[in-house]
Structure 1
């Protein structure tokens, strides 16, 4: 693909919408994306949306990225989740050393990068960089990726984390890590193939690492000389965006399946669901709540983008409020979904009915750490009072 706009990416997804929807059961049975589903995403250019133009990307507005992920997740939750997770990684890779960008994308701009960012490994210093070892969970879409971002703690010469803790994001090629087969056996999002990763004393050159704090505070984008506004939107806004967009899209997809099901459903009492005012009330209320979740998430990232475009660096309180909006959007959408699934009847729970799969996927997506409300709401509440939380968990991922 060349010279493809973000609008054309979404148009390409629409051309394959029926195919992606039909592949949902196959993804779930395989425990990872079917190769054809991954091919459609790759050829549509979904993962290139936030990629730098210098390496074949589109540098799209993050709102357009979110809207694309939502649409894919409406068709199949696992496919939308992988699009959202893997699709964010080129945004951070744009801040990395040009040498590693060339290694990743130089010969193929469609190379995908996996994660996770949780600091489950320790970096031991050696000449020219570090060695890394550890085990990570939840590497979504990893079977279709050739590189990976991993979170790690900076260690001393003995392999013990230094104090105060220093978190790094390091970048490894596929040859330097092992994907653990059969390590993804879950109730929902089964098709994401979010398997475990093991690293045994891999060498990490210094140019393949980013200080997490620099990424989180926006310094990495400045030091990389990135001109595009989207790269200066806070990490705590962009990284959760792909995940929450997928959850909201899943709820939208479930709502559509519920409506289609209710349109022709007759209850055990012989009454048609379409004539039940209580069922219609629940459907309308859920539709309004899910639409509100979509609007809140998209407005949040657009407001952040516009503020950055005006030259404003979002404050901690503003970032915390943005994270609160994002978290609440996910919870509101899934709660609304529960109201309609509970009124879909027992046959909605049959494995050949897509409603139950979307319902399971939505709840599994809500369980992601990025959707834990407590610390984020606490920090945002302090911000409302004009106070800043102390260093520690209340400042995490904000």
Structure 2
């Protein structure tokens, strides 16, 4: 799982250029594909690894420490493997068998599908489809339009649809100030025919019933994966803060004695908090996964515990930047400074709805 230092340095050296391009460099993308990181949750018959959830979380943390967009796209691309158990076997083979296979898409039901002979006619637009530029398959949820002019249902029927790239238009509207290289654009589908075999529902698991991952609830799965990304980016931010402080040590000492020591203490405090919350996070996830593998049903209380732990850990990750950036000087606000980039990436990653708490803290 560990990359050579020269590979890490190369990926980071291309990071700012990737930001300007709005997509991951071909070298970084190839690095992910060569190591099979997009296929960690893909069944082995299609060349996947079927890692346990805790193993995958550590991979996501590591990849995100290397570079924020690199880790985010590893996580998003790998997460698509979760769909294999819900697809018909022929469709799963079409989607996942290629060594370059990777999914981009959206879970928001912002499209409509009208039944026709052999399948559906689909129209819609879906936002935040990370990895749109390199996806080999796109998936998106649609509300089924029965076309009978009846009032919209309170709980409308929803199905997921798998599109070929030629059926999709990419609307390059990703304008976030962080994770700029993730290509998290909207996709548009117009009057596309999708055969029944390329549709699926998360309420209908069709295969791999013995694989623990496909039976693990999706919400804590998503919360844990994005939390691992936040941990990785925050760890990189601490490294960059320490590096900047060391480069500025002489200048700071000449202008204000004690500043360097003060900043280094803050870095240590932020690191201690992050390490403590990270240890608790992995303890929670290992326990949850172990119980799940042993066949114990996950209770509502356990689901809440996982969610709260992920949100608390993400807050600790975000706090690393909140504590340090105001103390790091003018360099910290310059976009070409690695510390600034990691801080922007971290804020965007922690903005994901599954990590945000709307309760009093």
TM-score of the alignment, normalized to the shorter chain, above 0.5: yes
* Contact map agreement 1:51 1:94 (CA 8 A) in 2: no
Pairing of 1:262-341 with structure 2 (within 5 A): 262-265=245-248, 266-267=251-252, 269-271=255-257, 273-274=259-260, 276=261, 278-341=262-325
2:104 to 111, 114, 120: 114
1:250 to 225, 230, 233: 233
Mapped pair 1:138 → 2:122: no
| SS in structure 2 at match of 1:58 | coil
Shift of 1:12: 4.3
Aligned to 1:348: 332
d(CA) in 1 for partners of 2:292, 2:240: 38
Cα 1:13–1:321 shift into 2, 3 Å: farther
* Contact map agreement 2:111 2:124 (CA 8 A) in 1: yes
Shift of 1:187: 0.9
Consecutive unaligned residues of structure 1, counting only runs of 5 or more, are 1-9, 382-398
Moved more, 200-209 or 38-47: 200-209
Instruction: Spell out structure 1 runs of 4+ moving beyond 4 A.
Output: 12-15, 158-161
Aligned to 1:147: 137
d(CA) in 2 for partners of 1:357, 1:253: 10
Shift of 1:15: 6.2
1:184 to 166, 174, 179: 174
Aligned to 1:21: 12
| SS in structure 2 at match of 1:118 | strand
Which fold has the larger relative contact order, with Cα–Cα distance below 8 Å and residues 6 or more apart in sequence? Answer: 2
* Contact map agreement 2:23 2:183 (CA 8 A) in 1: yes
d(CA) in 2 for partners of 1:72, 1:57: 18
d(CA) in 2 for partners of 1:308, 1:343: 44
1:200 to 179, 187, 190: 190
Aligned to 1:77: 68
d(CA) in 2 for partners of 1:15, 1:67: 21
Mapped pair 1:165 → 2:156: yes
Aligned to 2:25: 34
d(CA) in 2 for partners of 1:292, 1:201: 51
Aligned to 2:38: 47
Shift of 1:48: 1.4
Moved more, 85-94 or 156-165: 156-165
Moved more, 77-86 or 168-177: 168-177
TM-score by length of 2: 0.92
Moved more, 320-329 or 293-302: 293-302
d(CA) in 1 for partners of 2:152, 2:112: 7
Cα 1:13–1:80 shift into 2, 3 Å: farther
* Contact map agreement 2:222 2:354 (CA 8 A) in 1: no
Cα 1:168–1:15 shift into 2, 3 Å: farther
TM-score by length of 1: 0.84
Deviations 1:99-122 (A, max 9, x none): 11111133x133111111111112
Shift of 1:97: 1.3
d(CA) in 1 for partners of 2:59, 2:208: 27
| SS in structure 2 at match of 1:80 | helix
d(CA) in 2 for partners of 1:174, 1:306: 38
| SS in structure 2 at match of 1:137 | strand
Moved more, 124-133 or 256-265: 124-133
Shift of 1:256: 0.5
What is the aligned length?
A: 357
Shift of 1:14: 5.7
* Contact map agreement 1:88 1:238 (CA 8 A) in 2: no
Shift of 1:25: 0.8
Shift of 1:184: 1.6
Could you say what the CA RMSD is over the residues aligned between the two structures, in angstroms?
A: 2.2
Aligned to 1:90: 81
Cα 1:102–1:76 shift into 2, 3 Å: same
Consecutive unaligned residues of structure 2, counting only runs of 5 or more, are none
Deviations 1:53-93 (A, max 9, x none): 11000111111211111112112111111111111111222
Shift of 1:273: 4.2
